[in-house]
Structure 1
Amino acid sequence: MRINSRDGFTMVEIVIVLCIFSILLAVTLPSLQKKITEYRFEGAARQLVADIKYLQQKALAESSGDYNIKFYNNYYQLNKSTKTIKKVQLPANTKLEYFTSNGGSYDIMGISARGTATPGTITLYQSELKKNLYIKIAVTTGRVRLSSTYDSDL
C-alpha cells in the first residue's frame, strides 16, 4: 500500500491550462459576439416574415380585413382592429421602416380579407453590423419574401 501517491495534477499544471483556455476565449469572443448579433438580427427578420404570413392566414380564414401591423422604430405590433394581438421588440440597434409600392413611407400595413398584405418593402437596419435586410410584399399576389439585396421588383 502506497501512502505518498502522486496521482492527479499539480496546481501549476492547472493554472497553465486555465491561462491557455483564457487566451483562447479572449481571442474568439469578439467574433462570436458578432455572430450572435447577426443571428438575432436575421432571426428578427424571419420572425417578421412569419408574423405577416400568420396575419394573412388569419384574415383569409376569417374573411376579415381588420388585421394590420403597426411599425415603430424598434418594435412592431400585430393588431385586429384596435386590439393588439402581439408586440415584438426588435434586437438592440435594429430599426425598421416600411414603404408601400407607390413610394410612400407609412407606419401601418393592412391585410385584406383575401389575405393579401399592402404591397411594399420593409427595411430592417442593424447599426452594429451596418447591414440591411429587406422584406418584400409582392403587388399582385401578396407573397412575402426576405432578401439581403434591395431591388425594385415586388
Structure 2
Amino acid sequence: MNKIAPFMSAFLIGIIIGGAIVNLASGIIIENISFERDAYKLNNTMLQEKIDKLNESIKNQSYRVVTDIKPHVLNSDNKIRIEVEKYIKEKLKDTYGKQVEKINPDLIFNIFEGRILSIENKKVSLKVKYIVINTTLEIYVTAQTKE
C-alpha cells in the first residue's frame, strides 16, 4: 500500500492542477465570448432604434435625413473603443431621422470635445478630429487614456 500512495497522490495533484489550468483557459474564452455578445447586443439595440426612427421619418419626408451614425475611435484598445462608440451612439441616437440641414455640427463638437469618460477604472479623454454630416453622420474622435 505504501508503494501506491505516492503515485496516487501525484495522480490526484495532477488532476487538480490540470483542472485549474482548464478552468483558467475556459474562463478567458468565456470572458471573450461574453464581451462579443455584449457588443452584438449593443449593435442590435442601436439598429432597432435606428429602424424605429427611420420608419417615423420616412412617413412624412421629402428631404435627406440621418440614417446611420458611425463613430470612429482612434488610439485605443478594443474594450475602450467599444465603450466610447457605445457612448457616442447613445448621445447621438436622437439624430436618427432628423434632417441633415438642421443638425448643428458645433453642438455635436461641443458634446464630445474634451469629454472625460471613466472606463474600467481609467480616465479616457475624447478629442474630436472632425465630423461629417450627411445621411451617415460620422464622427472621428481620439480617445486618450489618462492614468
* TM above 0.5: no
TM-score scaled by length of structure 1: 0.37
Question: Higher helix fraction: Structure 1 or Structure 2?
Answer: 2
Higher relative contact order (CA 8 A, sep 6+): 2
Question: Higher strand fraction: Structure 1 or Structure 2?
Answer: 1
